[in-house]
Amino acid sequence: NVTTEVVDRDGCRLRIANKRLVSFARANHGATELSVSVLEPGKRHGMPNICIRSSLRMDRVPVGWELAHKHPEMDLETAMLSGTFVEKNGRRSVTVRCFHRIVRDDGRGDVQICLDSPLGREILSRPTRTWGHVRSGTAAPALDFIISNPRKGSWYTIEKIVILSIHGETIPRPVRSKSFDRRNQLTETATETQEEDDGMSAPFAEIEEEHRSALRSEWDRADIEVVGYRKATRFQRIIRLFRFHQVSQGYSVCSEKADKVPELVKRHFEAVHRELCGDYAQIGSDRPNTVILNRLTQPDPRFPIVRFEPRLPPACERLQFNCALGGRWHRFTLTPGAVQILVQGPTQGENQFLADLKVAPRFLIPSVEDLDEGAHKSGGVEICTLPWQEVQVQHSLTELGRPDGSAGGFYSIMRRTRFTRVEVLRRLLNEWAPGEEESAYNDTMLVAPLSGALARLKSAPRPAGFKKSDSEDLHSLQADATTRVRVVLFYEKRELARDILFLQGCFSREEGALSGEDLTEPEMLTVEEARRRCYSIPGCKGFTFQNPSLHCTITDAGPLNVDGTPAQVRIYFKGGPGSEEIVSSGWTSWRFTDGETALVNEFKREHEEMFNCKKHGVPLPLPPVATVASSPGELSRTTSENGDEVHFEEFEEPDLPADMYLKTSKVPSWEAFAEAVDQVLTAVAEHGESKGPAGREYKERCMRQGREDSTRPFRNLITDRDGTVNNYCDRYSSSIQSAYNAAWLSHFARHCTENALFVTAAPLGGRPSAEGLMELSVAPRGEFTYTGSKGREYFDLNTQRVLEAADLPQEQRELMDELHRRILALCAQPGNMKFLGIGSGLQRKFGEVTMARNDPAGTVPDPESRRFMTAVRQIKEELDPDGTLLDLHDTGTDMEMFPRSNARGGGSFDKGCGIAGLENKLQLGIPLGPNIVCGDTNSDVPMVVSSLKLMCGEEIVKVWEERLKREERPAQSPTPTLDDLNRVSSTTFSTLLDETTPAFAEGTQLATFQLMEATDEAGEEEEQRRNREEAERKAKEEEEEAREAAAGLGVVF
């Protein structure tokens, strides 16, 4: 389409429009139209006449062809030009006919000018030199269309339709003509003469519309739509440029031919494809069809089953394409985590992408367990499609969901893993109901849900810009319709993998045969089948088999046949005494390690790998250490001035061999750590109950109340949760306790302690719409006492209710409940759901409500974050119009709201205050000991201080604290002692009695008075000295007694 505007020297201005096309819809049809309009007449000559010349160039004869007639036909009555080319051997001929149509448009629609009318005869004439050069010879016939006195602003259009008629032998026809000829004008071959129309087959507008419709349909089939971020946008542009060249040259959508596509376009496509897909694509391809063919594989040509790869590159949010399979068009729409398949109409002879498919295929969508295993895996979900019925398959995790798991997605998966882990603990700790059949805690029915959850977490899409060098735990999830959040699933994935290892154990391949006795008869199995069989055989330590023939290859996955399928071998299952030894060669064994041993070995390996190296140039943090605290000063040194945790300098190394320490790190080895903690716990347990005043008083009170004495090594285990006995997680709502963690802690609490407490600053939960620690724990109820909000609330096992260790006025409680209810309703509105799943989410604590408006990664854009904060502030102002009841503190990511009465003194309440309140409420027996306190940050130190005050007395602990403060202050001038005063008095007395002093004679009476006064003062100071020495002796005895009591407190930080 070309439009040109020209002006001559006389000021005459014309606009000329030209359209040309070769029809996609009508075979062997071409069309063009030329329109002219006079916008302004000339200043001197006025309105000009217009001549439009139409020619038929017959002077360019192809090689091997010639003109059938020396004089091509020119018919003035019908305005037709025609000519015929014949092959020199006489077997084929092609006739070219040109039809014309004259149209005028005065602004009220097109009006055709009949050629047989007087006006038409005036317009049409033979070409003359008056209107320009006339080509010599007879091989270029032409017609002149002369428009005299045209109207200003009117459009005069000459339409020209060119039709080729083919005669003779079969001639290959363009592929497009059959696919899109809706009127079925062409026959299958050209052996017979085609019927010719007497005139123009259709107006230009109709031919153009048919052409556009056919080209649009072809483009829709050829187009590959890519939606996403910057890299995806660039790929969309280059892929459409490539397709434009392919479609324009008449290549089939399914064809790999692109000979006439410019080489620069091919190289550009290859570079952009590599940039977008990276390791996801076959590097080196320069065809758009690679995007399709890389996703379609037919594992076995004998069966109409097509394996489809559904994953997208990280920068893509949507990919849509069409392809011909089994005689029908299929449209695939891929989004992160889902694929839609729509079977459309027949292909009508189009080339197929998979030539071996003769019928409509079934599709195999790989399951999440197989996505990372490659195309050779045969597992997955088989989909059977029907024409004009769209099928959608969700193949991976895409949604974030709500923290309570009610909306599906990521949080729902984590909540379901909690139910599975609870069942594992119930079976492991033998908590069976009467009449219930016992089952193994590591049953495959419990392992399968955990494995499936881990696979779904791994299948979550990657964020835009993700590289293979980035963390493998970095994913992207849909928080709502407008927001995708970047999440690091390190905790969730690692703890699930550890739980699976804890339940299943592991196998290690070794060369040679396992000794020991055969537990069963030998069986012909694959290695994978033998592993599953080994789990069900009690006492099985592994299995062994004799190396097969040369036709098999032994790999880490077991023996493989020549075609790559697993081979069956005769398996011997071993156990009993001596099964640890390897004997004889020519055999291969798989040794089984039970889950607990395998997990401990994994911890040891991770510990040594972590502290033997540095990642990305950032020093790794030092691990926690253990010691027996004799004063709170020892714990205060575990933090630096800026609050960061540092290595505990007072750590006493156990008497262990030197080779047990890592050579390249100051951090003790795994064995040294275990030995150090064991020494601490042994020392505390052997110390026994406290013999101090506080302990004796508490024991007498217990005897009066008739309570029995403890028979377990420790009376109390008081511990923080996150970072201490549970690993840190980026999202509190998904930090589900792992099964192995709950099993080990429950075993210790059940056999070694009288009371086990979790003291955390996080919300306790246990209430509707206010979830917290209770909903994240897996250990059976009754093993631990759960407390939240720094110990201000706790869950009472007897009443099965959340109780308060501190008091909160009724009006403030009702105010906070209403605030929480309104914010929860705000989050349920469209566009606000994402704030429940990011960062801290919504937390209901004792006397406080915390609401996240962003996360540390800044996932939510600032305008959206500020909008939500404004909505929360509006709720606060509705509840507290005067601003006297509620206070709001914004941390940049969280909004903390609490009663104003707590704003002044709330900061002084720490976990130490919570410990004191819990002792008062629950009668834990902390003063009597022995106790263990565990923590990981300086916010946990008050628990140690509070425990010392209960065990040693508050006064002596204050003395220790003051002593530490004096040690931390700069050195000051010493206070004069009693000996200093006596020395000064003696010097003064000698000076006064010195006869050589000039003032002796004048001050005898004064000297006598001073002598008597000094003597009295010396007597009083001597009395004070004796009293002070007595007080110091008693204080020393009390401190020794307090230190003896404090030895019953073990601290692990």
Average pLDDT value for residue range 284-311: 81
pLDDT (tens digit, 9 = 90+) per residue, 556-584? 778 888 777 888 889 999 888 766 677 77
- Whether the CA torsion 194, 200, 206, 211 is positive or negative: it is positive
- 368's enclosing H/E stretch is none
Residue 716 CA to residue 691 CA, distance in Å, equals 17
pLDDT at site 106: 87
Instruction: Give the gyration radius of the chain's Cα atoms.
Output: 46
Sorted by sequence, the CB contacts under 8 Å of residue 759 that are 6+ apart come out as 718, 719, 720, 787, 790, 791, 911, 914, 915, 918, 943
Look up tokens 């009390």; give the residue.
1038
Let me know how many helices (H) and strands (E) the chain has, helices first: 25, 43
Give yes or no for a contact between 864 and 883, defined as CB atoms under 8 angstroms apart. no
Structure tokens at 586: 């020519």
Q: What is the largest CA-CA distance in the chain?
A: 165
Backbone angles phi, psi at 635, to 5 degrees: -75, -30
Residue 988 above 90 pLDDT?
Answer: no
Residue 665 CA to residue 667 CA, distance in Å, equals 5
Average pLDDT value for residue range 1024-1046: 81
DSSP 8-state secondary structure symbol assigned to residue 1012: H
pLDDT at site 177: 37
Backbone angles phi, psi at 72, to 5 degrees: -55, 150
Average pLDDT value for residue range 632-661: 38
Residue 902 above 70 pLDDT?
Answer: no
Sorted by sequence, the CB contacts under 8 Å of residue 618 that are 6+ apart come out as none
> Angle at CA 689, nearest 5°, toward 688 and 691?
120
Give yes or no for a contact between 905 and 917, defined as CB atoms under 8 angstroms apart. no
Query: Worst-scoring range by mean pLDDT, 373-387, 597-611, 743-757?
Result: 373-387
Residue 822 above 90 pLDDT?
Answer: yes
**Max mean pLDDT range (121-135, 498-512, 998-1012):** 498-512
pLDDT at site 502: 93
Residue 1005 above 60 pLDDT?
Answer: no
- Whether the CA torsion 533, 535, 541, 542 is positive or negative: it is positive
SS (H, E, C) 588-625: EEEEEECHHHHHHHHHHHHHHHHCCCCECCECCCCCCC
Give yes or no for a contact between 364 and 308, defined as CB atoms under 8 angstroms apart. yes
Sorted by sequence, the CB contacts under 8 Å of residue 631 that are 6+ apart come out as 948, 960, 964, 1046
Residue 134 CA to residue 140 CA, distance in Å, equals 9
Structure tokens at 179: 């696919």
**7/124: higher pLDDT:** 7
Give yes or no for a contact between 246 and 279, defined as CB atoms under 8 angstroms apart. no
pLDDT at site 759: 92
pTM listed for this prediction: 0.72
Backbone angles phi, psi at 718, to 5 degrees: -115, 120
CA distance from start to end of the chain: 79
pLDDT at site 556: 78
pLDDT (tens digit, 9 = 90+) per residue, 148-207? 888 899 999 999 999 988 887 544 343 333 333 333 333 333 333 344 444 566 888 888
Question: Which residue type, as a one-letter code, is found at position 451?
Answer: S
pLDDT at site 703: 64
Instruction: Give the pLDDT band of residue 493 (cuts 50, 70, 90).
Output: very high
Give yes or no for a contact between 944 and 635, defined as CB atoms under 8 angstroms apart. yes
pLDDT (tens digit, 9 = 90+) per residue, 431-447? 666 666 677 888 888 99
pLDDT at site 282: 47
